Structure 1
Amino acid sequence: MRLTRTSPCSRQNSPRDTSNPQAEPNGQPRYCTTRNDTSPARSRARSTNRMTDTVLTQSLTLAAESGEVHRSLLQYILKGGPIGMIIILISLVAIGMIGAQLFRIRRERLAPPDLLADLRSLLGDGNIDGAIKRSSDEPGSSYLARVVGTGLTRASRSAFGMLELRSSVDEIGQLEVDRLYRLTDGIGLIASVAPMLGLLGTVVGMVGAFDAITLSDGPARPDELAGSISQALITTVLGLIVAIPCTAMYTFLRNRIDHLTTEIDEQIEEIISPLEAAGGSEAANQ
């Protein structure tokens, strides 16, 4: 039953409103009927607001009682369950790999200054055997030692002599660049696997939430769903936290390899140029 409220019509009625005269023919004032807004849409909106307020209040109360309003980082990690712990473990592996590659992929490591100076002096004097020995004696087998030493050894054993030196150096250089690339593949693998593990944790958490709904007597309480939903969200966050920096470092290290090896190749070309010129002169004389 709808409630109505009657009041005298306002004297501010528009003159054009002929359907609502201010007075009846007998001179008595005419009363207007105003209906309360009890439309179904507004009723549903008010009901939804009340339910939302109730759920939020219950959630905050449960969180306050269980001490979950303020969590430490370790508590968030533990909420991720076994999959979250796996993501943390591979993140530690990734940190170790990134640190090792940052130490290895350096100019001083790839082309030691003292080795470069010695090779320049030896090859400038035409001492190929001395340059090969100096490269093989270099500790750590740097990029410069591998490329120059192997290239000189292959060229000295070839029937074409030093004419084949440049092609040998280029081939060995490409092989060494590929070897350096492979050292960073583990970082790229972790960058790809981490978000997949996070997605797996999300699926497992949502399955647990639906199981809680199925096994509960009546409507599931928020505290019955909170654990599974927390695991679902936290594993996704952990996977992204690991994947994003790993992807960035993987790209950075690859670009660094390209940049440094290109500069070192230019220096190698400079120090082998006298040998190529000498080899061309010998071939012309023969």
Structure 2
Amino acid sequence: MLDFISKGGPILWVIMALSVVALAIIIERLLYLRRISIDEEKLFLRIKTSLMEEHYSEALAICDQNVSPFSALLKVGIENRNQPEYLQRELLKDAAAMESINLERGLPALGTISNISTLLGLLGTVTGTMKAFGVLGKFGAVSDPSALASGVAEALITTVGGLVVAIPVIMFYNYFASKVNYIITRLETQVNSLVDLISTYAGESSANTAEKPAKEG
């Protein structure tokens, strides 16, 4: 195996280093997506029940227990429940933008690695071919094919190495990109629902609290 790798030359080592980085990003993103995967309907119902009962601390605790972009938006909305609706909407949009940054973390690096791996494979093909032709230019007709083996091996191995890294990285990149786009779209559509939820129940609670002293007087 080491002999095979050594025949690929320094370019193959660079490709292998990029594959390690890509693997680390892929594993981290898979674990992240798994961690933020929650039952949104169930969480929404629990928060709604807490708001109806004016248990705001409990609602915030539920958000803290569920690490996801959706629960992060809920927390921002609950913390700013006394703000005007237009301000709540802006704050939630800002929170959704911040969550999208976390969701997209690592994706530009994956896209870059997929492109660079292919180009490095092509570069290895060129340098290996140049090395083979260099042997022919130096010795003319070569009776021993093994003299060309080093250059040809480097050309073929780096080409294969670049493709072996680039193909799965592109597949994971497209998977993560589609998953992230879906979550971001969901967050954008949930802003209005969250504002309505918080304004309805938190707003009613504030109104009832304000009416009580007036009735007593």
Q: Same fold (TM over 0.5)?
A: yes
Aligned residues: 205
Deviations 1:88-142 (CA, angstroms, capped at 9, x unpaired)? 2321222222122112113x5244667555423223334445433543x437x43
The alpha-carbon distance between structure 1 residues 274 and 116, as it changes in their structure 2 partners (threshold 3 A), is closer
What is the letter of the counterpart of residue 65 of structure 2?
E
Equivalent positions of 1:145-164 (< 5 A) are: 145-154=71-80, 156=82, 158=83, 160=84, 162-164=85-87
How far is the alpha carbon of 1:75 from its aligned partner? 4.6
User: Does residue 138 of structure 2 align to residue 138 of structure 1?
Assistant: no
The alpha-carbon distance between structure 1 residues 78 and 116, as it changes in their structure 2 partners (threshold 3 A), is farther
User: Does residue 59 of structure 2 align to residue 109 of structure 1?
Assistant: no
Aligned mate of 1:89, from 1, 14, 17: 17
How far is the alpha carbon of 1:175 from its aligned partner? 2.5
Specify which structure has the bigger relative contact order, considering alpha-carbon pairs within 8 angstroms and separated by 6 or more residues: 2
Equivalent positions of 1:1-286 (< 5 A) are: 75-106=3-34, 109-111=36-38, 116=44, 118-135=46-63, 137-138=64-65, 141-154=67-80, 156=82, 158=83, 160=84, 162-216=85-139, 218-221=140-143, 222-263=145-186, 270=193, 272-277=195-200
Corresponding residue for residue 19 of structure 1 = none
Secondary structure in 1 matching 2:142: coil
Contact 1:119–1:131 (8 Å) recurs in 2? yes
What is the letter of the counterpart of residue 36 of structure 2?
R
What is the letter of the counterpart of residue 167 of structure 1?
E
**What is the alpha-carbon distance in structure 1 between the residues aligned to residue 3 and residue 47 of structure 2?**
57
Superposition TM-score, scaled by structure 1 size: 0.60
Aligned-residue identity in percent: 28
How far is the alpha carbon of 1:168 from its aligned partner? 2.3
Secondary structure in 2 matching 1:105: helix
Secondary structure in 1 matching 2:73: helix
The Cα RMSD (Å) is 3.2
**What is the alpha-carbon distance in structure 2 between the residues aligned to residue 149 and residue 211 of structure 1?**
66
Structure 2: where are the runs of 5+ without partners? 211-217
Deviations 1:155-195 (CA, angstroms, capped at 9, x unpaired)? 54x4x2x4532332233113212321123222212111111
Secondary structure in 1 matching 2:36: helix
The alpha-carbon distance between structure 1 residues 257 and 111, as it changes in their structure 2 partners (threshold 3 A), is same
**What is the alpha-carbon distance in structure 2 between the residues aligned to residue 110 and residue 261 of structure 1?**
14
Secondary structure in 2 matching 1:182: coil
Contact 1:87–1:239 (8 Å) recurs in 2? yes
The alpha-carbon distance between structure 1 residues 264 and 122, as it changes in their structure 2 partners (threshold 3 A), is farther
**What is the alpha-carbon distance in structure 2 between the residues aligned to residue 115 and residue 278 of structure 1?**
16
**What is the alpha-carbon distance in structure 2 between the residues aligned to residue 183 and residue 201 of structure 1?**
26
The answer to which structure has the higher helix fraction is 2
How far is the alpha carbon of 1:78 from its aligned partner? 3.3
Superposition TM-score, scaled by structure 2 size: 0.76
The alpha-carbon distance between structure 1 residues 111 and 171, as it changes in their structure 2 partners (threshold 3 A), is farther
The alpha-carbon distance between structure 1 residues 151 and 94, as it changes in their structure 2 partners (threshold 3 A), is same
Contact 2:81–2:199 (8 Å) recurs in 1? no
